[in-house]
Structure 1
Amino acid sequence: MRENYEYDMFENYSEVVMLLVKVRQQNLTEEEEEKVRSWREESPENEVLYAKVMSVEFMKMKMAQRACTDSERAYAKVKRRAQRRVRVRRFCYLSSAVASVFLLLGGWFYFDRMELSGLERLNAASEIIAEGSKAELILSSGECVMLGKGQLDSVWMHEGMEVHSTEGRVSYTGERLCREKCDTEELQYNILRVPRGGEYSVVLGDGTSVCLNSESELRYPVQFDRGERRVFLRGEGYFEVAKDPEHPFVVEVEDAKIEVLGTIFNVSGYAEEERVVTTLVEGVVRLSSDNESVLLEPNEQGVLDKDGHLSKVEVNVFPYVAWQKGLFVFRQQSLERVMQVVSRWYDVKVVFKDEETKRISFTGNMRRYGNFEQVVRMLEMTGGLNFNIEGRTIYITEK
């Protein structure tokens, strides 16, 4: 259940609304751009509100309402309400804010300027969505079980374990009863494979939870033995490791090895990125290569590069774990890096018309579960970019 929070519905509410109007008109000064950026970063609710106001759905709704909108009456009514300090749940705050901005914006002054080609482009982008929960589970027998949205909950026995499958998660139980048996038998492995445009979670037999990002896979024993708990990752995963000091948990990814006892961390090791990045949220982990190792503490990040060099730095962990909270969070990332992450999630191909465009720096938050239109809208505004969409291929140029 979400907690209660107390909000000022903006000390100068009308300024926020007018800034959003100017965003839609692409008529912000540098100072105003910074104000909008700061407001968006204050809370996830502000970012969701921003995305709604910038969406194609909002545009269509306001076009339908333009004939009957009384902006002055709406402005006066909402302004009175906004100046009251109220205690609300997060979702109540968001609903009120969205409704208020919808009324205040009116819409006619922007849509009269909207070019038809731009609307068609955004419509094309709005049709590109990520499928979300989908994966394939490859059993030790070689059998492949397809997992995804709309599936019925199911339970079956496999290698002495009870396997529970629900939408978005597969889990194993019975591990404690199997350890003695496993000591005398060869470990049997399952593979959870997540394609581009998907994500999925698995709860291992020891209670460890792993959330896999798009284009990732985890190979793991159906039952752990009495020794270490070792799994093998390709791509990106968010781990919440069950505490068991007598049985260390080890993650192998590319040329790196991560050793933990019980902790929360994110690790990204996509082959095409040629590095392994481990970001520690809680606990302690040791990141090792063939030649050296580093010990990580909370809010530290270890990087193993393609040359085998290990380094660590202090970081704000949120941008690196926000993906499994439903957000993309970028801080001074190159456009090439941004689109690498986004294209993997939306399962699209990105083509840059020149190398300079790849190096444009971007900072901002985006809803992970929105459609691709929100990405186009935000990047075109902040980066001075043009997107040409042909099916699932995106061509990017500077304006």
Structure 2
Amino acid sequence: MSIDKNWEMLLDYLESNQEKGNVLSNEELQRLAELRALVDETSDAFELYQSFNIEQKWIELRALGVSRGFTQPSPIVKQNTFKPWLRIAAAAAIVVMLFGAGLFYFNLNNKQKKHDQLAYKNDVSPGKLGATLTLANGKKIKLADAANGEIATDGGISMSKTADGQLVYLIKGSTESEHINTLSTAKGETYVLILPDKSKVWLNAASSLTYSTNLNERKTRRVKLEGEGYFEIAKDRSRPFVVESKGQEVEVLGTHFNINAYSDGPAIATTLLEGSVKVSLETNLSKIIKPGEQALNNDHGIDVVNVDVERITAWKDGGFALSGKNLKTAMREIARWYNVEVVYDPSISDELETGGWISRSNKLSTVLKLIESSGQVRFKIEGKKVYVSK
């Protein structure tokens, strides 16, 4: 009997016995039929199916409980029954399982590729180094377009742009007058500022820092932040460093900390990495936090919590730290960096969380695919809009 005839007998038998408790589904039957194309090519397959009566042996296989991946034999059948062909049956079952899994992933990959082609045909490049410096006289300098070297002077202060994307202030003469400057980043931009006292500030996308060029206001080094910034403050016990943001002040002498004060966030988050800071509200409420702690100002008070500081400052180091982060919070960060608008389907819950870590140097599609891999949401990019659905 030919192998084709054997296969036909097997398939006919299984199909005719669906009503009698056959354990294979219609989908599995289809996969089994497609497997024939593979085994037909081997001489071993011919010998294997010639070696036993298909109908009888399939009944025995089902009785032994091996028709779904070679499980343990049924208690009603002795374990040493059919030893001569049990190994062959097990091997055949494994082949069917492997083929089924391969077919499943092949179909899944094809569906994923089709989705990617449609969803990410309008990909978006990552943000870049860039910012705008606004001088006291109102002049605006786009740093991405400015040549490296000195770009402006203000009284006794020189402002220079470095090749690696930093704006550096140097004191060259008398600094009696207080001229106000603002460094601002648009969506999709980030920049580093070195103030006259050697303090260093990283500005995240869609943020700004306003300060006097001599950094001396009533014997206080005072700046105003909108958005997000990471600060490494030079020590100067005679002049505290104060960061104002949305009705809050953070006062330090010398330390490393991060402030997230975006207007679309639920709270101002001040995270301490080194030293100590005092967070004060306009209501005169204040709290001192320690390294590894975060002060959350939600307009009703200050809550202090312990956090993973590396996740908080991942943006400064060129990454998105998404593990355990609320999806919509993560998408706000992503939207600012890629300068896109996020549109949610009503079915998307506010409680969903993301996972993983990924570089901000990737294109938008790569970041979204990482989030998609959780199976909770799907994305589609159309122009400068990202649509989120289930």
Q: Is the 8 A contact 1:241 1:263 kept in 2?
A: yes
- Does residue 317 (structure 1) correspond to residue 312 (structure 2)? The answer is no
CA root-mean-square deviation: 2.0
Q: How does 1:68-107 map to 2 (within 5 A)?
A: none
Q: CA deviation at 1:117?
A: 2.7
Bigger relative contact order, structure 1 or 2, given CA contacts below 8 A and separation 6+?
Answer: 1
C-alpha separation in 1, matches of 2:266 and 2:326: 17
User: Counterpart of 2:156?
Assistant: 160
Corresponding position of 1:364: 356
1:331 maps to what in 2?
Answer: 323
Query: How far does residue 151 in structure 1 lie from its aligned partner after superposition?
Result: 4.5
User: Which stretch shows the higher mean deviation, 274-283 or 211-220?
Assistant: 274-283
Measure how far apart 1:331 and its partner are.
3.1
Mark the CA change 1:234 to 1:113 in structure 2 (over 3 Å): closer, same or farther. Answer: closer
Match of 1:381 in 2: 373
Q: Distance in 1 between matches of 2:314 and 2:290?
A: 19
CA pair 381-284 structure 1, distance change in 2 beyond 3 A: same
* Structure 2: gaps (5+ residues): 1-104
- 8 Å Cα contact 1:239-1:265 kept in structure 2: yes
Partners of 2:225 and 2:202 in 1: CA distance:
11
Check if 1:223 corresponds to 2:217: no
Asked whether 1:297 is paired with 2:285, we answer no
Q: In 2, are the aligned partners of 1:163 and 1:170 still within 8 Å (CA)?
A: yes
2:390 equivalent to 1:395: no
- Distance in 1 (alpha carbons) for counterparts of 2:368 and 2:347: 19
Q: Deviation at 1:383?
A: 3.7
CA contact (8 A) 1:151 1:166 kept: no
List aligned pairs for 1:137-176, cutoff 5 A.
137-148=133-144, 151-155=146-150, 156-167=152-163, 168-174=165-171
- Tell me which residue corresponds to 1:189: 180
Note the C-alpha offset of 1:372. Answer: 0.5
2:237 and 2:206 map into 1 onto residues whose CA distance is 31
Matched residues in 1 for 2:193 and 2:305: separation? 29
What does the per-residue CA deviation read over 1:96-130, in whole Å, with 9 as the maximum and x for residues that have no partner?
xxxxxxxxxxxxx86994245324136425x3012
Q: Is the 8 A contact 2:181 2:213 kept in 1?
A: yes
CA distance in 1, matches of 2:344, 2:119: 19
Shift of 1:162: 1.4
Number of aligned residue pairs: give it. 281
Q: CA shift at 1:335, angstroms?
A: 1.2
Distance in 1, matches of 2:129 and 2:319, equals 15
Q: Matches of 1:141 and 1:273 in 2, distance apart?
A: 32
The structure with the largest alpha-carbon Rg is 2
Matched residue, 2:129: 133
Tell me, yes or no, if structure 1 residue 212 matches structure 2 residue 209: no
Alignment pair present for 1:306 and 2:299: yes
Deviations 1:340-375 (A, max 9, x none): 111111111111111534421222111111110112
Residue 200 (structure 1) aligned with residue 224 (structure 2)? no
Deviates more, 1:349-358 or 1:136-145: 349-358
Runs of 4+ in 1 over 3 A off after TM superposition: 109-113, 355-358
SS of 1:331's partner is: coil
- Give, in angstroms, the shift of residue 166 of structure 1: 2.5
Question: Which letter does structure 1 place at the counterpart of 2:186?
Answer: P
State the distance in 2 between where 1:172 and 1:111 align: 59
TM-score normalized by the length of structure 2: 0.68
Distance 1:112 1:319 in 2: 33
Which amino acid in 2 is paired with 1:337? T
Q: What's the CA shift string for 1:27-70, capped at 9, x where partnerless?
A: xxxxxxxxxxxxxxxxxxxxxxxxxxxxxxxxxxxxxxxxxxxx
TM-score (norm 1): 0.67
Q: CA deviation at 1:380?
A: 1.3
Distance 1:387 1:112, change over 3 A: closer
Q: Distance in 1 between matches of 2:375 and 2:225?
A: 34
CA distance in 2, matches of 1:128, 1:356: 23
Indicate if the aligned counterparts of 2:166 and 2:191 stay in contact, CA closer than 8 A. Answer: yes
Q: Is the 1:352–1:358 Cα contact (8 Å) retained in structure 2?
A: no
CA distance in structure 1 between the aligned counterparts of 2:324 and 2:179, rounded to whole angstroms:
43
1:121 aligns with 2:118: yes
Which deviations, in whole Å up to 9, do the C-alpha atoms of 1:277-323 show, x marking residues without a partner?
0000001100000231000111111111033x111112211110111
Distance 1:354 1:286 in 2: 41
- Any conservation in 1 of the 2:120–2:380 contact (CA below 8 Å)? no
CA shift in 2, pair 1:355/1:218, >3 Å: farther
CA contact (8 A) 1:130 1:198 kept: no
Q: CA deviation at 1:243?
A: 0.7
* Deviation of the 1:161 alpha carbon: 0.9
